[in-house]
């Protein structure tokens, strides 16, 4: 009989003055904290969580409370070391430490014309509904092309008006005329932010 996998919830809350991991307060300026958030950004289970939850499937949930100050700053969650593992689905509900991230609706992606004579970069896009897609662009493509791609991808299920931002560090992409090279967005993680409704996934910085 095959034993069932145990699932463990890990709650990450992003506050104005830092972030908490299962109520353990971390400072954004701490080097270990930056590595922790960078792992989440890249879709990897942070090493300390892998060291703690070696046999369980880990469900990481991220909650944005950046307009609030965390009042409890006492550390309660001790870090461990271990090997990093790729997570299995999109932030904020990130599950699995051993399976590669699956791209949602890979076969349904709209085609972006590419010039093979120019540098090409992969852009990871987190949609407001929690889905993650990866698309290739030339670095000469503009931010507006990413926005157009998202609109075509969503098709009949087009979302309300939205803007784009980077994840780490959080930065609103206000000038859509900039190229990916000019905006330093090579291999970047881009977040779709709905303007009229609450997004399930927002910045991680």
Q: pLDDT digit string (tens) for 108-147?
A: 455 788 998 999 998 888 887 778 888 999 999 999 999 9
**Does 114 reside within a domain?**
yes
Domain boundary among 74, 95, 116: 95
- Residue 190 token pair: 């881009």
- Please count the structural domains in the chain: 2
CATH code for position 121:
3.10.20.90
Which residues span the domain enclosing 111? Answer: 106-194
The reply to whether 187 and 110 lie within a common domain is yes
Whether the pLDDT of residue 151 is over 80: the answer is yes
Amino acid 146: pLDDT = 94
Q: Which of 35-39, 62-66, 179-183 has the highest mean pLDDT?
A: 179-183
Whether the pLDDT of residue 47 is over 80: the answer is no
Amino acid 82: pLDDT = 39
Mean pLDDT of the chain: 72
Look-up: residue for tokens 């004579």? 117
Degrees to nearest 5, angle at CA 143 with 137 and 144: 105
Nearest to 110 by CA among 77, 158, 76, 75: 158
Whether the pLDDT of residue 5 is over 90: the answer is no
**Does 205 reside within a domain?**
no
Q: How far apart are alpha carbons 71 and 74 in whole angstroms?
A: 9
Domain boundary among 33, 64, 95: 95
Whether the pLDDT of residue 202 is over 70: the answer is no
Whether the pLDDT of residue 1 is over 80: the answer is no
- Residue 134 token pair: 């990866």
**Does 201 reside within a domain?**
no
What is the separation of C-alpha 27 from the centre of its chain, rounded to a whole number of angstroms?
A: 19
Q: Is-contact 121 134, C-beta < 8 A? A: no
The reply to whether 48 and 91 lie within a common domain is yes
The reply to whether 11 and 91 lie within a common domain is yes
Q: How far apart are alpha carbons 201 and 205 in whole angstroms?
A: 12
The reply to whether 86 and 110 lie within a common domain is no
- Residue 184 token pair: 């330093």
- The confidence band for 4, taking pLDDT boundaries of 50, 70 and 90, is low
Average pLDDT over residues 183-191: 88
Domain boundary among 95, 114, 131: 95
Q: Say whether 29 sits in a helix, a strand or coil.
A: coil
**Does 111 reside within a domain?**
yes
Measured between its terminal Cα atoms, the distance across the chain in Å is 44
**Does 202 reside within a domain?**
no
The reply to whether 55 and 111 lie within a common domain is no
The reply to whether 80 and 146 lie within a common domain is no
Amino acid 157: pLDDT = 56
């Amino acid at each position: 009989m095959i034993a069932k996998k145990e699932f463990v919830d890990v709650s990450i809350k992003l506050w104005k003055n830092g972030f908490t991991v299962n109520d353990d307060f971390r400072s954004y300026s701490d080097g270990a904290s930056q590595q922790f958030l960078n792992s989440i950004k890249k879709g990897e289970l942070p090493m300390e969580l892998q060291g703690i939850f070696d046999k369980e499937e880990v469900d990481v949930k991220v909650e944005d409370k950046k307009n609030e100050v965390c009042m409890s700053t006492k550390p309660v969650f001790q870090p461990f070391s271990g090997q990093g593992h790729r997570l299995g689905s999109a932030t904020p509900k990130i599950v699995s430490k051993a399976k590669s991230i699956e791209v949602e609706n890979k076969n349904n992606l709209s085609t972006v014309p590419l010039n093979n004579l120019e540098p090409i970069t992969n852009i990871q896009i987190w949609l407001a509904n929690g889905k993650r897609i990866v698309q290739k662009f030339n670095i000469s493509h503009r931010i507006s092309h990413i926005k157009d791609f998202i609109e075509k991808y969503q098709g009949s299920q087009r979302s309300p008006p939205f803007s784009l931002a980077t994840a780490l560090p959080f930065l609103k992409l206000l000038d859509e005329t900039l190229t990916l090279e000019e905006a330093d967005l090579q291999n970047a993680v881009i977040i779709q932010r709905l303007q009229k409704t609450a997004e399930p996934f927002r910045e991680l910085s």
